[in-house]
Structure 1
Amino acid sequence: MSPMMVLIVFVSVYILLMSEKWNRVLAAMAGGVAMLLIGAFPIEKALFTYIDWKTITLLFSMMLIVTITSKTGIFEFIAIRIAQWVNGNGLALLVLFSSLAAAGSAFLANVTIAMLLVPILFKLTRLLELPPIPYLIMTILACNIGGTATLIGDPPNMMIGQAVKHFTFNSFLENLLPVVLMVYAVTLLIMCVVYKEVLHVKEDRKLLLKGIKPEEYLKRDSGLFQSLFVLALVLVGFSVYPVFHLDVTTVSLAGAVLLMLLLEKMYPPEKILREVEWGTLFFFMGLFLLVGGIEEAGFIDEIAREILRATDGDMKKTAFVILWGTGLLSSVVDNIPFVAAMIPVIQEFGEFGMVNMDPLWWSLALGACLGGNGTLLGSSSNLVIAGLASKENVHIKFHQYLLIGVPVTVISLAVSTIYVYFKYIRPFMGG
């Protein structure tokens, strides 16, 4: 295997994805197959090491649950209630909806929150004749920002929590929630300024909204009770992770199977399976193989070591280089393998005599999670939301998202830099 060939395949596919010249599913799958053809790794390693079947299964399970639940009219009911609550105000809707996404992503997987909220979002924008793109982009940003706040909100935080034994669920809240609130407030302000002119609702739509009875949209004979019961069970299963360590993928898969068993006669499994977003699942498989090739060729390990080699063990330099390096790289490469490569490298600093490495760990968490907002490829929830939008014939263009994602990511990392300096570096240097 030639590392240069791996790099050429990786860069070529990313150029295709950014230019949108090819169908994104075909581009990602072609890249994954190319990695196999050039010998980046054997097929066994592709299937059992690099394709993250836990993520694929979580997505698949939630797609089944959401597909069945959507047939009950509950998403229309919630959408109308939310719209009536804010009197059809477009900006208020942006604030409320993104706040739901951020808060939900802190305590559930942000992929799950994305799959639950996007169907409601489309009902809302159609009802009020609002453009969906601003709401979709803000939901992407909110999911990644909210997921940064807790141990269970984003996979990199779970990995860091497992690596650093004294980091508890409360440790993440105490250390990351303040900066997450600041970043979210700044991001929301930017989005409100950027989109305020296009989020006006016509008076006739507001009048129509007042006359709608949301209860009429509920289809009580379509498995409403069973769907809500199973969905509640799954969400409870996710939320008790810190106590019982129930794997979220197992919980979601069990919920999907239970719901299909309960409603088998009403919704035959063959029919429901045809409605699954298979394109999104295969897109993820292709991306996992692409990143696997880069990881196998040693690029990720080398980047991680170079980041720390450049700092000469200086605490301030190291924390800032980790924060910005991880943040910028996480915009284009899946943050999970990069965090996996960074964890042993940071641990080596302890062996070299560096005391109090907490600032480095918090910098890694902030960079990995907030960096996911940089591009559409930066985070699993970004890709899920883009996939759900495509299903509704709404296409978030790569460059269109980039114009918002890059500035928001840079500002988020700048806010995090100030926070890390005053919260950790200054007290450490003073001591």
Structure 2
Amino acid sequence: MGVTFAIVIFIVSYIFIMSEKINRAVVALAGGLLLLLTDVYHWEDAITRYIDWNTVALLFAMMVLVSITKKTGVFSFVAIWLAKLVKGKPIPLLIGIAILTAVGSAFLDNVTTVLLFVPVILTLTDLLKLPSFPYLLTIIITANIGGTATLIGDPPNIMIGQAVPQLNFVSFLQHTGPIAILLFVIVLMILCLLFRKSLQKEELTNPKQLMTMNESDYLIKGPLLYQSLLILLLTIIGFMLHPVLQVDLTIIALTGAIMLLLLSEKQLETEKVFEQVEWVTLFFFIGLFMLVGGLEEVGVIDELARSIMWMTEGDMAKTSLLLLWTSGLFSGIVDNIPFVAAMIPVIQEFESYGMANLDPLWWSLALGACLGGNATLIGASANVVVAGLAEASNNKIAFVKFMLYGIPIVILCLIITTIYVYFRYLLPFQQPL
């Protein structure tokens, strides 16, 4: 009965999330509560095993940092500077924000990057009277593609890097970096073509006014500006030095947030800062972790992982490509973190079966899990954060509308990645058991 309850509750909750008739955080939390009431698992299991408090705490810390920094006007400064750089032209602006997001996601992480850039683009689209959806969609898509390129760009990569010591930062750059760059270029061209007509219809009411604006006027110069920028910079440096420092990313983010709260206490009340935190997004994550935890508790995710291996009978090429597509498609439905966690020990078991070269499997898992997150608004952490920030600013992203763009892009990315994996790993290095 537990298996039935877990599957039914997850499917029903997912349908309500897609319908958007009830707040997604309420739906996710209600689904998690039903799992507790039906005894699928106990409250202690939810707290200690299934809710990823590291992710929740990391998001909270970055939201605090961004909300304080926003008070200084720095996002308006960057927005106007970028708008003037491209002379307010919609398509060059789309390209510019895509490049910034992809690079930021590769060398920070995609959640931090979207937290930094979404306030900028929302300020900018409001200023230029442009539709926000094309830019928000571009930020999500390019954040997940950019995060694929490095070890620290996306949580699945971090998990795989921790499980397989020889796959370090340089390894990811060499193996996932090239395909991420190729996919970024192709997808950006497609996005520009898709939105070219709709964005070209939008004209600035007074382009001369934009070019005469002084971005420095929007900065509120004072101690808070320098404190927030310094702490934000130190936090970003901490993220980049994470492999060297051996300090958890969440600890780095929390340290930055607490330091900035202490420094800004006399200028900003902590209560006012906390009011700016996207609590709906945080509680949605908690509910989503509980829903996926139900599937994990009853063995659905683990059984899916093992079925992949059973279906391919241990053949390297079949296993690698099936793993790529399964992780890609599955990651669009639920968060990719639990799936990757279930797959890591299963892949490791193949060593005991005599398979000498497991690298194709690791790269297939990493690429599929990261790229598949673009399919839906709940496929990756960055998606959920962008949706929350957009909704808070009255720029709500419709779940189904996002899917209409996200799913075809994911399928295209997986087709291209299949060719890449086959010719780089499977054709020259394929080894039978």
TM-score where L is the length of structure 1: 0.98
1:150 aligns with 2:136: no
Match of 1:384 in 2: 385
1:371 Cα deviation after fit: 0.4
1:14 correspondence with 2:9 = no
* Alpha-carbon distance between aligned partners in 2 of 1:203 and 1:8, rounded to the nearest angstrom: 49
Partner of 1:286: 287
Q: Secondary structure at the match of 1:356?
A: coil
Change (3 A) 1:165 1:397: same
Counterpart position of 1:306: 307
Question: How far does residue 20 in structure 1 lie from its aligned partner after superposition?
Answer: 1.4
Show the counterpart of 1:116: 116
Secondary structure, in 3 states, of the residue corresponding to 1:160?
A: helix
Other-structure match for 2:214:
213
Alpha-carbon spacing, 1:208–1:369, altered in 2? closer, same or farther (3 Å): same
Separation in structure 2 between the aligned mates of residue 204 and residue 5 of structure 1, nearest angstrom: 55
Match of 1:397 in 2: 398
Does the CA-based 8 Å contact 2:111-2:385 persist in structure 1?
yes
Distance in 2, Cα, partners of 1:429 & 1:54: 38
In structure 2, C-alpha distance between the alignment counterparts of 1:11 and 1:281, rounded to whole Å = 21
Q: Secondary structure at the match of 2:217?
A: helix
- The aligned amino acid for 2:416 is V
In the TM superposition, 1:296-375 aligns within 5 A as 296-375=297-376
Letter in 1 for 2:131: P
Superposition deviation, residue 430 in structure 1 = 9.1
The Cα shift of 1:190 comes to 1.1
Q: Which moved more, 1:178-187 or 1:402-411?
A: 178-187
CA contact (8 A) 1:72 1:222 kept: no
8 Å CA contact 1:76, 1:120 repeated in 2: yes
How far the C-alpha of 1:314 sits from its partner, in A, is 1.1
Deviation at 1:254, TM superposition (A): 0.8
1:267 aligns with 2:279: no
| Amino acid in the other structure paired with 2:224 | G
For the residues of structure 1 that align with 2:369 and 2:431, how far apart are their CA atoms? Answer: 28
Percent of residue pairs bearing the same amino acid type: 50
AA at the equivalent of 1:312? E
Q: Distance in 2 between matches of 1:306 and 1:116?
A: 40
Equivalent residue, structure 1, for 2:94: 94
List aligned pairs for 1:36-47, cutoff 5 A.
36-47=36-47
| 1:66-77 equivalences in 2 (<5 Å) | 66-77=66-77
1:41 Cα deviation (Å)? Answer: 1.1
Q: Distance in 2 between matches of 1:261 and 1:249?
A: 18
Q: Corresponding residue for 1:171?
A: 171
Question: Offset at 1:198?
Answer: 1.8
Is this contact kept in 1: 2:59–2:111, CA < 8 A?
yes
- Structure 1 CA distance for aligned equivalents of residues 207 and 309 of structure 2: 56
Contact 1:41/1:296 (8 A) holds in 2: yes
Structure-2 separation of matches of 1:35 and 1:109: 32
Take 1:168 and 1:252, find their aligned partners in 2: how far apart are those partners? Answer: 22
Matched residue of 2:176: which SS?
helix
Amino acid of the structure 1 residue aligned with 2:142? A
Aligned to 2:84: 84
**How many residues were matched structurally?**
431
TM-score normalised to structure 2 length: 0.98
Q: CA deviation at 1:222?
A: 6.4
Q: CA deviation at 1:405?
A: 0.3
Q: Secondary structure at the match of 1:374?
A: coil
Give the aligned partner of residue 235 of structure 1: 236
